[in-house]
Every structure is written in C-alpha cells, then in structure tokens.
Amino acid sequence: MSATNYTVVQSDVPLVCPLGDEGEIVLASDKMLRLMDDVRRVASGSDAVLITGETGSGKELIARAVHQASLRCSKPWVDINCGALPDNLVESELFGYEKGAFSGAETSKPGLFELANHGTLFLDEVGELEPRLQVKLLRVLDGVPYYRLGGTKKVDVDVRIVAATNQPLERQIESGYFRRDLFHRLSHFQLRVPPLRERPEDVVALAEYFLRRQEPVKTLTSAAIEVLQSYAWPGNVRELQNVIRQAASAATGEEIQAQHLQALRTSLPGATVRAPGTPDLDAMEREAIFDMLTRTGGRKTLAAEQLGISRRTLSRKLKLYQAQAPDPAQLSDRIILSPFAYRCPLRVPVWLRNASGGKTRVSSENLTLGGIGISGLDDALAYSGRLQIEFTIPGRSLPATMEGEIAWADNSGAAGLRFVHVPSSVQMDIAYWLKQQKSEMQ
C-alpha cells in the first residue's frame, strides 16, 4: 500500500488494505473504517504516533499502515518489541555500540535508529522501556544527536517514531514509571485500535478471511457465525485466528458447524457468550485467563497458545491483575482455598540479599503463598527492612525471585519471611505447587 493507492469507502463488502509482504488489514466496521481515515490523515506528517489497544487487536498492522501511507513508505521500516528483550540489551539494540563497549562486543554495530534513518522505527510495547532509556529516547525525539554505547562520535538520525502499547500509560505516569514528557512527545497523534468486541461486524469478515487463507473450500454456517458473534473475544483478532484455524482442522466436511466451534469453546476460556447489556469485560478476561491456567496446570506457554496471545502478554496480564488486586488471595482463590492458611513443608536453599548488598544462604522449612519459613539466619538484624528472596520452587527450572521482609525471628536462627512483592508468574508457580502438594496429601 502506497500513500495513494487505497481509499476508505463505506461498503457492505469488507475492504482489504494490503501491506505488501506484511499482511493485510480487513475492514468491515465503521470504527475500523474511521480508524483508517485517521491513519491516512496522520501518515502525511513526521510527528510521532502512539497506537493504543488491547493485546491482539492489530496495533502493529495499523503501525505498518501509517508507514506505508506516509512519504517514507520507500524508506526502511524497523521494529522492536521493547518488552521482548532484557533491559540490558534494549539500549544496545536501539542505539548501537562500538567495538569493546562491553564484554562480547567484538565488532561495532549500528543501532535500530541508524538502520531506520529516513524511515520509520516502530517501538512495540513502549511502556516496557525502563526510565533510563526513556530519557535517552526523549532526547532523540527532540532531535538531539546521541552516542553509541562506548562511542565518541555523535549519531544524528531522521526517524519517525511510531509506538504502541496495551498498557494504560497514564497510570504508569502516576506511579512514576513512565515519563510524562515522553508520553506527550509520543502521543502528538494518538490512534486507538478498538477491541474486537466493539466491532462485531469485523468478526465475521475476519473469520471468513482467515478461513479463505487456510481452507478456501470450507465455509461457515449461519449457526457457526452466530456463535462467533456471541463470544467476547478477550484475545481479540489473534484469538479469533487461532479459533478459526482449529475449527478448520476439526471440520471434516466443507462446512464449519456450530458444534466445531462449541467443542473448541469448551476447552477455551471465556466461553460465556455476551448477554444483552454491557458485561464486565475486564472480569471476563481475567476469568478466562485463570480458567485456562487451571486447565493447563499452570503451563503459561500452553495457556497463552490456547488463548491466542503471546506468553509475554499473558505475563503482563498477570502482572496487571496483581497491581489491580495486590492481595494474592484475590488472585489465587480459584486455585487454593485460603492459600495463606495452607503451609507445606519445603527444604531448599534460600538466598537473601539486603538493601546494602549483603547476601546470605539459609534453608527453607515451609512455604505458603504469603511467605516462607527459614532456618539458619544468624544475624536477623542485618537483614531487617526490604529483602530480595530467591529460591527454586520444586519442578521449576528457574529460581523464583521476589521482595519480602522478616515477619518474626528468634535466637535459634529460625525466621518467617513475609512476601511483599511477588511477580505474578512466580505467584502462580507457588500457587500451583501448593495445590499439587495439598492434593497429594489428601
């Protein structure tokens, strides 16, 4: 799609906007048609664009449409998922590095800003950028040349930034995690991609589009279409694509019947159809995710695949639920009844690190969802205040790390540690392990 080769019109027939080798945008609803009008309007400039929307709603396709409809369409398109790389690699990926800048930097490497010079750089999940990199990004957006890591020569680039996020950046600004000035700089133009539940006309159009691409001879019956339209789609377009792919495989004939979708929906979360009125969609999504985690035994990769979302998105959702309801009992009452009341024996090494950097190894005695009992703590006073706690949950390959504090201690070296901040993924791992232990003991 170039800057002039598509026109948004009102039509009963879905409009397909090609994006070259990167796919197509299928438009049937008024909301998406208006969004593409906005894309064409903002594409002509060079100011930054912020695209917001739920996971799986199609933010990257809209970002590519902005690039393809702009005067930079013949120039480079470069993208990076800011949440997919460790924090220590994001800076070197964005800004490049010189030979010897750090261990393993055997040659110089240009950053993505340089690779996107005169073109468009897409920053997906921009809300995941750590504050230090937000400052550097703001300076680049203001036209200030920058240094590669370990470099002595400034780099000057002409790049248009298109950023996307599924997080409420305003809330992150209030918490101090995201810079207000960067938000205003990125959101000179802001495009919101509506979730699939807000554009039911697109459900059928997209379903038929995905079906034609996979099984051109198969069709959806009217009953199957009714099922599709009644579902809330917490995973949005990505979930719909996954459902159609599975239904096409399940149907042996040329018609996809309602029962093919119904069979899938019994194994998918969020199977409740929309009732008249406005449902609590956030609660529905959360219920859907925890249902799937329960069905998959806590295996997040499998749960994410069945939901039609990425594993990282699933982790972000769990983190969001933890922020909204920090009481772990609210997150896990579907897994363990009265989770804080259930204590399970556990004998593994535990590492404690205090605020001064001091580190000691102790042994665990028991574990609950809210804390861990230990022995061997010789100097409890040295570890008063906030602690970093690290131990390996049985059956998990990676150690679990969380923040906590000493709730009680005695002269024998025994102590009880209270968990203060637990990553959602770790919390779920603990919950499922406790449930497994409780089941084995009953």
> Measuring CA to CA, which residue among 132, 113, 124 is closest to residue 178?
132
Domains and CATH numbers, the chain: 15-192 (3.40.50.300), 197-324 (1.10.8.60), 339-441 (2.40.10.220)
Q: For residues 76 and 117, is the Cβ–Cβ distance under 8 A? A: yes
Q: For residues 49 and 42, is the Cβ–Cβ distance under 8 A? A: yes
Q: For residues 140 and 157, is the Cβ–Cβ distance under 8 A? A: yes
Q: For residues 161 and 123, is the Cβ–Cβ distance under 8 A? A: yes
Residue 160 tokens, joined? 């248009």
What pLDDT score was predicted for residue 301? Answer: 74
Q: Are strands 120-124 and 77-81 parallel, antiparallel or unpaired?
A: parallel
What pLDDT score was predicted for residue 102? Answer: 81
Neighbours of 136 (CB within 10 A): 16
What pLDDT score was predicted for residue 267? Answer: 40
Q: Could you give the residue ranges of the DSSP H alpha helices within 231-358?
A: 236-250, 258-267, 281-295, 300-307, 311-324, 328-332
What pLDDT score was predicted for residue 343? Answer: 72
For residue 187, the SS3 value is coil
Residue 142 burial (C-beta neighbours within 10 Å; 0-12, 13-18, 19+) = exposed
Residue 257 tokens, joined? 């019947």
What pLDDT score was predicted for residue 4? Answer: 33
pLDDT block averages, 10 residues each, the chain of length 442: 36 54 77 92 92 91 92 92 78 89 84 94 90 89 89 92 90 85 92 92 90 90 86 85 87 85 48 39 63 66 70 73 45 33 81 90 88 89 88 84 85 85 76 74 56
pTM of the model: 0.59
Per-position b or e across 424-433, b if 16+ CB within 10 A of its CB: bbbbbbbbbb
The β-bridge partners of 161 are 121
Neighbours of 227 (CB within 10 A): 22
Q: For residues 354 and 391, is the Cβ–Cβ distance under 8 A? A: no
**Cα three-residue angle 400-404-408, rounded to 5 degrees:** 125
Q: For residues 79 and 121, is the Cβ–Cβ distance under 8 A? A: yes
Max distance between CA atoms of the chain, in angstroms, equals 78
Q: How far is CA 158 from CA 82, 123, 197, 299, 431, in A?
A: 20, 16, 38, 44, 49
What pLDDT score was predicted for residue 340? Answer: 35
Residue 65: its H or E element: helix 59-68
Neighbours of 18 (CB within 10 A): 14
Q: How far is CA 392 from CA 6, 50, 198, 297, 430, in A?
A: 55, 40, 43, 18, 10
Neighbours of 214 (CB within 10 A): 14
